[in-house]
């Protein structure tokens, strides 16, 4: 009897990185979330978090699925490892390519499928109604029984708070944080897990705002490159009403030319929508809490959290623009 992949289980963000009781922790990977099915007739389907069929984008995974037993469904993350670091931007060019272009990219930057859940398994059928701890044991048995190697990788999992705390130090290689999963929890669509993103305090220059100078909604941030030019590095999350009011008196329109005159800004990573912005005199330095997800030129892929104005710093004191970790 045929079967289909379920809707993915998702996670709600939390601000505390402590492993809760009766939970397991897993590292949070910087890649593409993917659900994979290998059917008895040899067909392979790879589906994105949003339900898009992305099988054709990853021919090396499709070919390697021949090593899996019949009727297996996996949940995991597709990642690229380059120069000792997870390289998310190498995945960006995989979608909507010709077969020849995809094959060339697969040869140049092959991916790994990091499996963290077993959703369906042969004669056992649908496993989503079983608790996490049982699905995890079955996943580990699958990897051991079939001696799965690259491009397959088994995601680490632990109930030891010390191990979870140690994984937070993996941000240097591009790990985004931790995902917490209740041991007795079934697999179901919706935000049943929790996640903690690793963040670090750093500084940036305010170069523009969305909204207006009188009522800023978000701040567009920059850093100086090697030539002294201000380059865009990311945007804050939506400001609280109190933070917006406090900043209004410190934001002024440019007194002369502005390095961002004439450029446009995307409303978000991966979208073609553009922001309506107002440029400001790039003199205000702010402290922000940013996660570790950078693109190849050092821009934050996710909104950063505004913390406070740094009155003790000038734009030239801000850390310079640099390529993302592990890139050149």
Catalytic residue among 28, 181, 195, 272: 28
Interatomic CA distance for residues 38 and 143, integer angstroms: 15
DSSP string, 247-309: HHTT----SS--TTTT---BSSTT---B--EEE--TT-EEEEEEES-B-TTS-BSSPBEEEEE
CA distance 196 to 18: 9
My answer on whether omega of the bond before 151 falls inside 30° of 0, hence cis, is yes
Question: Has 272 been annotated as catalytic?
Answer: no
CA atoms 171, 302, 8, 93: torsion sign = negative
CB atoms within 10 A of CB 101: 12
What are 204's strand-pairing partners? 286
DSSP for 39-107 reads: -TTS-EEEEETTS-B-GGG-HHHHHHGGGSPSSEEEEEEEEEEETTEE-THHHHTTTT--HHHHHHHHH
Catalytic residues: 28
């Amino acid at each position: 009897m045929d079967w289909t992949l379920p809707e993915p289980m998702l996670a709600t963000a939390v601000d505390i990185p402590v492993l809760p009781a009766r939970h397991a922790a897993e590292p949070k990977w910087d890649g593409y979330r993917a659900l994979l099915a290998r059917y008895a007739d040899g067909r392979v389907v790879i589906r994105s978090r949003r339900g898009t069929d992305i099988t054709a984008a990853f021919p090396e995974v499709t070919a390697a699925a021949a090593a899996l037993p019949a009727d297996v469904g996996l949940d995991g993350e597709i990642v690229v490892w380059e120069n000792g670091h997870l390289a998310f931007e190498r995945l960006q060019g995989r979608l909507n390519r010709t077969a020849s272009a995809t094959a060339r990219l697969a040869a140049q930057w092959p991916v790994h499928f990091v499996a963290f859940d077993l959703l369906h398994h042969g004669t056992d059928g649908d496993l989503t109604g079983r608790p996490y701890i049982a699905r995890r044991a079955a996943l580990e048995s699958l990897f051991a029984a079939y001696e799965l190697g690259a491009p397959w990788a088994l995601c680490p999992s632990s109930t030891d708070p010390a191990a979870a705390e140690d994984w937070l130090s993996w941000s240097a290689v591009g790990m985004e944080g931790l995902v917490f999963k209740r041991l007795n929890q079934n697999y179901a669509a919706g935000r049943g897990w929790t996640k903690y993103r690793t963040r670090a305090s750093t500084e940036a220059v305010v170069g523009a705002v969305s909204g207006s100078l009188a009522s800023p909604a978000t701040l567009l941030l920059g850093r100086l490159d090697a030539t002294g030019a201000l380059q865009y590095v990311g945007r804050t999350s939506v400001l609280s009403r109190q933070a917006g009011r406090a900043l209004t008196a410190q934001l002024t329109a440019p007194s002369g030319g502005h390095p961002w005159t004439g450029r446009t800004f995307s409303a978000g990573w991966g979208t073609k929508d553009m922001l309506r912005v107002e440029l400001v005199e790039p003199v205000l330095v702010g402290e922000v809490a940013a996660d570790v997800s950078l693109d190849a030129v050092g821009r934050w892929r996710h909104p950063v959290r505004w913390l406070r104005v740094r009155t003790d710093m000038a734009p030239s004191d801000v850390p310079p623009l640099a390529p993302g970790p592990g890139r050149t």
